[in-house]
Homo-oligomer: A and B are copies of this chain.
Amino acid sequence: MLDPIARVRRFNRAVTSEVGALDTSFLGRGRTLGVARVLNAIGHGRSDVADLRDYLALDSGLMSRFLRSLEEEGLVTTKPHPDDARRRIARLTAAGRREFEAYETLSNRQAQAMIARHSQPHALLAAMDMVAAALGRDRIRIDEVDPRDEQARYCLKEYYAELSRRFARGYDVALSRDPDAVDMMAPRGAFFVALSDGLPLGCVGLKGSGGAVAEIKRLWVAPAARGLGVGRRLMDAAEQAARKLSITTLRLDTNSALGEAQQLYRKTGWTEIERFNDDPYPDLFFEKQLR
């Protein structure tokens, strides 16, 4: 009842009976699950046959047969890879794209129905994000991106929104020292986002000036992803980037209202120092020497 294990198992039961039905729903368009999965994977941008095989965990023989079957239906064409004629590339035909869209519409409708019935969709979506992040934890990637990218901008927007929720006096970016994008890109600095199956779950910026000292800025982890070690991985990525840029001293400012972040800094070799700027929001300052 209150037993965590029982709760997880209950979740598993709920999910296998409901989401399992979703998988099966790919049927009903006169195609078996195997070929439908291949069609969908191609539609989602996987074209390399080896990649498809790997992604779908299919035997090479089986993969070939599925592709032949899709070709016979006129939904897919294959051609040799321009760089290596042994490899093949699969693409959807116009008819194939229509079929793919039909599957997409079906999945979207199902997803839509699931939230539409709920009268608190925000909470439900947040819960789904959290579960998905925990389940897909091993597939969370840390990617270096331009801080003006869509995914970076999304993270920053969420970061500001969270600060204004958590600071008693609110938060206004204009009052803070918002770093220039170029300071957080090679060759001066770097910007990283954590991605789980395409969804941004966190970010961090390394703001350099060309010298030996750089600052860590904008460390944020989505509420759905807390407890998965994403913050630490982001910080590791930033530190590693700093080392590559020959930076020897890292500094950062933070606010004592952000307890989790502070804990992370203290656990990973940062030491508290004196205030080094006059930004109105931070009240805690840290430094870390990279050797």
Q: Which residues of A contact B (CB under 8 A)?
A: 1-2, 4-20, 22-23, 107-108, 111-112, 114-115, 117-121, 123-137, 150-151, 154, 196-200, 224, 226-229
Contact B10 A227 (CB under 8 A): no
Known: A120-B226, A127-B127, A226-B120. A197 touches B19 (CB 8 A): no
Contact B13 A197 (CB under 8 A): yes
Contact A7 B125 (CB under 8 A): yes
Contacts of A20 in B (CB 8 A): 16, 20
Contacts of A12 in B (CB 8 A): 19, 22, 107, 111
Contact A127 B130 (CB under 8 A): yes
Residue on B with the closest CB to A12?
A: B19
Tell me, in angstroms, the Cα distance from A6 to B112 when the chains sit together: 9
The smallest C-beta distance from A110 to any residue of chain B, in angstroms, reads: 8
Known: A16-B19, A115-B4, A124-B227. A131 touches B11 (CB 8 A): yes
Contacts of A107 in B (CB 8 A): 9, 12
Contact B117 A123 (CB under 8 A): no
Tell me, in angstroms, the Cα distance from A154 to B7 when the chains sit together: 15
Contact A121 B200 (CB under 8 A): no
